Structure 1
Amino acid sequence: MIPSPPPLSDKQIRSIREATARICCWHGSVRSGKTIASLLAFVLAVRRAPASGLILICGRSLQTIERNVLEPLADPSLFGPVAAEVRHTRGATTAVILGRVVHLVGASDARAEGRLRGLTASLAYCDEITLMPEGFFTQLLARLSVPGARLLGTTNPDSPRHWFKVGYLDRQSELDLASWHFRLADNPSLSPAYVAALSAEYSGLWRRRMIDGAWVIAEGAVFDMYDEQRHVVTELPPMRRYWTGVDYGTVNPFVALAVGLGDDGRLYVTNEWRHDSRAAHRQLTDSQYSRAVREWLDELDVSPEWTFVDPSASSFSTQLWADGHPGVTKAKNDVIDGIRSVASALDAGLLLIHESCEGLLAELPEYVWSDEAAARGEDRPVKLNDHSVDALRYVIHSTAHEWRHLLTTAA
């Protein structure tokens, strides 16, 4: 028995009916129902697409296309009988939907534009438009040259100066473009408990974008929720487990942070080891850094389960492995996602910092968004005095799967 698809909201139904423009965009918060509506509209468009011209699905990568588009389409609980008409072998660059061959195109950087040269398309679906290079999107529109050709796509909000917002959504009245804005509350199938849990995962800028669906600019302090009175502690509870984050530097400061999960269910930055070669007038080798970190941890009587190292510091990681340091691995270095993880933990009161971590406490209030990057529609912090913050970002984001469930229980 085929399960019944979830109910559609009036906004979802209206958007599907009205999706007749050359460019159709569903934008707004995460889990707001925009993807389901857009995919239903895409399935209808595939059935009606001209026989001439290619059908394309474009996304950040083949893996994201499979995860965000093909897997939902093949789920009978979401798309009922249509799911049986979706065929794809994982890793293949084509799929078959309703009997039509669909080409899957990754667009991770500007070079992806070359994959579109020379082709003619009648229909395209774009997953997360704002993550695509502008040149790729422009080239894609040029390739939709078959009479009646259309582009359907989704995106979460970004900077209000992002090229897609300025060049397309803000010019909707001038273009053959239709768009629909979705908020989290627009999805009728979400339980109140899930909405509360999801809302807890975002704070500040990301709460406004990902929950409210607003196109807002990143400005001022990156961690504007940080409050010394709230987040700095003088005493520490017993720790259940530890991790370490390392930001490597030779001329710039080298920082190692010990982060523990306390018996009270909170994260604590318990200790910091920092070497500033400029201030000390002495640079250290990889071997000396490795020895210093191990001696520091031994002195603390801390055995971290994992040590997350700056991914660019491959020689130092190799030295740690050679010296028998356990659990050495490359940190996740997605800057914006890492900032979001730290911000969520701080905002929920889940992440606290011991008063002895002077370098980190000095950097946090001065870690700010770049005005120059914002003017280009980009979210990017100023790259200055951020070594302890980077070490914090490495260890917090790399362990997010371990602690994210604690967000809703933190004070």
Structure 2
Amino acid sequence: MSLSDYLAPKQLEVLHSYLNNDFGMMILTGAVRSGKTFIDNLLFIYELRRTARLAKEHGNKHPQYILAGASSDSINKNVIISCMNQFGVEFKLDRHGHYHLFGVDITPVSTATMAGLKGARGFTAYGGYVNEATLGVEPVFQEILQRCSMPGSHIIVDTNPDNPQHWLKVDYIDKEDKKMKKLVYHFTIDDNTHLAPDYVERIKASTPSGMYYDRAIKGLWVTGEGAIYRDFNERKMVVDGAPKELKYYAGVDWGYNHPCSITVFGIDEFGRYYLVDEYTERFKEIDYWTNVAKKLQQKYGYNMPFYCDTATPAYIQHFKNAGINALNGWKQVVPGIEIVASLMKQGRFFVWKNHTQKFMEEVYNYQWDDKAEDKPVKEMDHVMDSMRYALATPIHLEELKKQHQTNSRNNIKAGLKRFGL
């Protein structure tokens, strides 16, 4: 029997990279039942043999390796028992709760809470295997990385997808830094060619559409239940630049203890909107924001309207006194959200990469309040409110203008008819 009979093509690709590439971290992310944990468990066995060999070369009689998971129970079920069943190995358990194989001390670390820091500190490891990484907290993950400081150490990471702004995706999967020596592999359920086709079809047919299907079947990092802007697609909507000829609008959501946010959008001749600038900060006085607005005027035009939250009229007047074209923003929340969401759905909404501060964080965490009908949760909403004022207000005003023109034409026609003309 060859490896191709034992491993699926995607698993063979991962194994080939493990054996032939120089790397520091390997992350396998994707769908359930996609085969990623199986190949990672196999690599874990390879890692233990490799650790034993390196320790012998270094004269280290008690080499340590980290095995991490959300809890001791998940470590045992997902890795230890699975490895014994799949590969016929026998782990020995000592009185400290450590596992032993091939002469390697395998130190379990729980990652779900900060309490896991205690188990990860105080020793140096030849490597680590982190199972279910998204269920852990980042400080424990970072501590594991710091512990694995022996020359040539590896970190193997296994995870299902989560929110696109999860620390694992933002700080590790998406981070572009060659010094990380990182390999990332994405799995879908179709990558596991050893699953029975009728089982795969049944799972696909029974998995709800939307977030559930995208995560479980496609292995995508998408927004969860309750997200307001569910049609926001980072891969399609975050762009490297914006057209030069745009008409600009700004939105302002006032704040002090809570963040104040100013966003600037440009619209092109095809009705496509681009978020080109965003300033979001706390504890800044109105004079600071007036200076920000003046800088934006210089950049995008002195007549650019700033559609403002009407909750603080004195700030709007302060802008006006400084020569800023400050106008009242349209305050209807749900209709305004509907307008913004419609732009996203139509593919008319874009974000200029690296030109925002808090937009990406808020858009994925802006949620409907399940305790209040048709209301967003009043958290992570400052950029979202600013965006709504900037986009929905001029669109709403244009719709009112069209309605007024239509009504005026109808009134003229009715008058002429009354006079028999």
CA deviation map 1:47-77 (0-9, x unaligned): 01132441111000010011111111001xx
Give the number of the structure whose alpha-carbon radius of gyration is greater.
2
Matching residue's letter, 1:59 = G
1:365-380 maps to which residues of 2 (within 5 A)?
A: 375=362
Q: Give the corresponding residue for 2:67.
A: 57
Q: Give the corresponding residue for 2:402.
A: none
Q: Give the corresponding residue for 1:24.
A: 26
CA contact (8 A) 1:12 1:33 kept: yes
Matching residue's letter, 1:208 = D
Counterpart Cα distance in 1 of 2:5 and 2:119: 36
Go from structure 1 to structure 2 and tell me whether the alpha carbon gap of 1:22 and 1:205 turns closer, same or farther (over 3 Å shift): same
1:109-188 maps to which residues of 2 (within 5 A)?
A: 109-174=113-178, 175-188=180-193
Go from structure 1 to structure 2 and tell me whether the alpha carbon gap of 1:153 and 1:37 turns closer, same or farther (over 3 Å shift): same
Q: Secondary structure at the match of 1:151?
A: strand
For structure 2, which runs of at least 5 residues remain unmatched after alignment?
231-357, 374-421
Of 35, 38, 42, the residue aligned with 2:37 is 35
CA contact (8 A) 1:88 1:95 kept: yes
Counterpart Cα distance in 2 of 1:90 and 1:38: 24
Does residue 384 of structure 1 match 2:389?
A: no
CA deviation map 1:156-210 (0-9, x unaligned): 1111111111111112443211111111001011112221332314432021011
> What is the Cα-based RMSD across aligned positions, in Å?
3.2
Matching residue's letter, 2:165 = R
Q: Secondary structure at the match of 1:375?
A: helix
Go from structure 1 to structure 2 and tell me whether the alpha carbon gap of 1:92 and 1:192 turns closer, same or farther (over 3 Å shift): farther
Matching residue's letter, 2:83 = L
CA contact (8 A) 1:60 1:108 kept: yes
- Shift in Å, 1:98: 3.1
Go from structure 1 to structure 2 and tell me whether the alpha carbon gap of 1:101 and 1:375 turns closer, same or farther (over 3 Å shift): same
Go from structure 1 to structure 2 and tell me whether the alpha carbon gap of 1:189 and 1:381 turns closer, same or farther (over 3 Å shift): farther
For structure 1, which runs of at least 5 residues remain unmatched after alignment?
225-370, 387-411
Q: Secondary structure at the match of 2:115?
A: helix
Go from structure 1 to structure 2 and tell me whether the alpha carbon gap of 1:161 and 1:178 turns closer, same or farther (over 3 Å shift): same
- Shift in Å, 1:211: 0.6
CA contact (8 A) 1:373 1:380 kept: no
CA contact (8 A) 2:227 2:365 kept: no
Go from structure 1 to structure 2 and tell me whether the alpha carbon gap of 1:58 and 1:379 turns closer, same or farther (over 3 Å shift): farther
Counterpart Cα distance in 1 of 2:369 and 2:30: 27
Q: Give the corresponding residue for 2:218.
A: 212
CA contact (8 A) 1:156 1:213 kept: yes
CA contact (8 A) 1:59 1:127 kept: yes
Q: Give the corresponding residue for 1:318.
A: none
Go from structure 1 to structure 2 and tell me whether the alpha carbon gap of 1:378 and 1:164 turns closer, same or farther (over 3 Å shift): farther
CA deviation map 1:60-106 (0-9, x unaligned): 0010011111111001xx32xxx2x3224599722222342211121
Q: Secondary structure at the match of 1:168?
A: helix
CA deviation map 1:325-350 (0-9, x unaligned): xxxxxxxxxxxxxxxxxxxxxxxxxx
Go from structure 1 to structure 2 and tell me whether the alpha carbon gap of 1:373 and 1:179 turns closer, same or farther (over 3 Å shift): closer
Between Structure 1 and Structure 2, how many residues are aligned? 231
Counterpart Cα distance in 2 of 1:21 and 1:201: 36
Q: Percent identity?
A: 29
Counterpart Cα distance in 2 of 1:90 and 1:185: 40
CA contact (8 A) 1:209 1:215 kept: yes
Counterpart Cα distance in 1 of 2:192 and 2:181: 27
CA deviation map 1:329-376 (0-9, x unaligned): xxxxxxxxxxxxxxxxxxxxxxxxxxxxxxxxxxxxxxxxxx999639
1:308-327 maps to which residues of 2 (within 5 A)?
A: none
1:103-114 maps to which residues of 2 (within 5 A)?
A: 103-114=107-118
Counterpart Cα distance in 2 of 1:12 and 1:379: 37
Q: Give the corresponding residue for 1:249.
A: none
Counterpart Cα distance in 2 of 1:92 and 1:190: 38
Counterpart Cα distance in 2 of 1:56 and 1:178: 19
- Shift in Å, 1:382: 3.2
Q: Secondary structure at the match of 2:6?
A: coil
